[in-house]
Amino acid sequence: MPNPTAAMLVIGDEILSGRTRDSNMHHLAKRLTDHGIRLMEARVVADDHAAIVDAVNTLRARHDHLFTSGGIGPTHDDITADAIAAAFGVAITHRADAMALLQAHYDRAGQPFNDARQRMARIPDGAVLIDNPISTAPGFSLGNVHVMAGVPSIFEAMLAGLIPTLTGGAPLLSQSLRVNRGEGEIAADFGALAADFPDLSMGSYPFNVNGAHGTNLVIRGTDPARIDAAMTRLAALFG
């Protein structure tokens, strides 16, 4: 059976103006290659509705997967979710589960969950959310199109959760624990725990929101009982 094929679409004026150097394409290329998926082509387009719709529809028809980065934040130039909905001809609404995730996130941070932040819960109908262990606002997969953030640390964390779901094997589950300590502080114990559960994948994602900094610890695997066992140990260490 031939390897699945993929394309990437990088979305953002800041890449084309030279303000920002994209790193997500290179990261994706390495991860896909490791995973046996062939990245066949990549494109960069501006924050332009018609350009995004056109590229999405061309690339999703040509390949098994299309990965996008950029344009899913809270500001006026974040138009990716609407363009994806338009490309598929589906509606887009503030989705309840995404709203709940974000409401809880901003409640914890003691910040208002205002209209701009609520924009990040707008998800095209039929999509599956992609976990964002760093800043909560989710990505999503709609059909074979995987929509992720442009900020490299968030893109990489989203992709780390997404990639194992693309094998076609047993579904990969995850649970996470938010810890108010830096990565350097928890690394030894977390590493030892990971060594005790070689069948699970454990990742740590530092965050820093308005001065509150810490680490989200994520455990991924296919056996819910094993994940529960590891989470019990994790909570005893850092809970």
Binding to a second copy (CB under 8 A) within 39-98 occurs at: 39-47, 51, 73-77
Min dist CB 126 to a second copy, Å, is 26
Q: Binding residue for a second copy (CB under 8 A) from 85, 130, 218, 227? A: 218
What does the alpha-carbon distance between residue 107 and residue 136 come to, in Å, rounded to a whole number? Answer: 12
Q: Binding residue for a second copy (CB under 8 A) from 133, 203, 219, 230? A: 203
What does the alpha-carbon distance between residue 114 and residue 129 come to, in Å, rounded to a whole number? Answer: 21
Q: Which is nearer to a second copy, 195 or 225 (CB)?
A: 195
Distances in Å between the Cα of 233 and the Cα atoms of 9, 189, 224, 229 are: 40, 10, 14, 7
Q: Binding residue for a second copy (CB under 8 A) from 103, 144, 206, 233? A: 206
Interaction residues for a second copy, span 13-32 (CB under 8 A): 13-23, 25-32
Residue 231 sits in the site that holds a second copy (CB under 8 A): no
Binding piece for a second copy, criterion CB under 8 A, among 80-88, 160-168, 184-192, 229-237: 184-192
Min dist CB 53 to a second copy, Å, is 14
Min dist CB 152 to a second copy, Å, is 11
The secondary structure of the chain as a DSSP string is -PPPEEEEEEE-HHHHTTSS---HHHHHHHHHHHHT-EEEEEEEE-S-HHHHHHHHHHHHHHSSEEEEES--SSSTT--HHHHHHHHHT--EEE-HHHHHHHHHHHHHHT----HHHHHTTEEETT-EEE--TTT---EEEETTEEEE-SSHHHHHHHHHHHGGGGSSSSPPEEEEEEESS-HHHHHHHHHHHHHH-TTSEEEEEEEEETTEEEEEEEEEES-HHHHHHHHHHHHHHH-
Interaction residues for a second copy, span 99-158 (CB under 8 A): 111, 114-117, 119-120, 151, 153
Residue 33 sits in the site that holds a second copy (CB under 8 A): yes
Binding piece for a second copy, criterion CB under 8 A, among 139-147, 163-171, 183-191, 231-239: 183-191
Q: Which is nearer to a second copy, 126 or 191 (CB)?
A: 191
What does the alpha-carbon distance between residue 134 and residue 154 come to, in Å, rounded to a whole number? Answer: 6
What does the alpha-carbon distance between residue 82 and residue 201 come to, in Å, rounded to a whole number? Answer: 33
Q: Which is nearer to a second copy, 120 or 130 (CB)?
A: 120
Min dist CB 225 to a second copy, Å, is 20
Q: Which is nearer to a second copy, 125 or 153 (CB)?
A: 153
Q: Binding residue for a second copy (CB under 8 A) from 159, 204, 219, 238? A: 204
Residue 239 sits in the site that holds a second copy (CB under 8 A): no
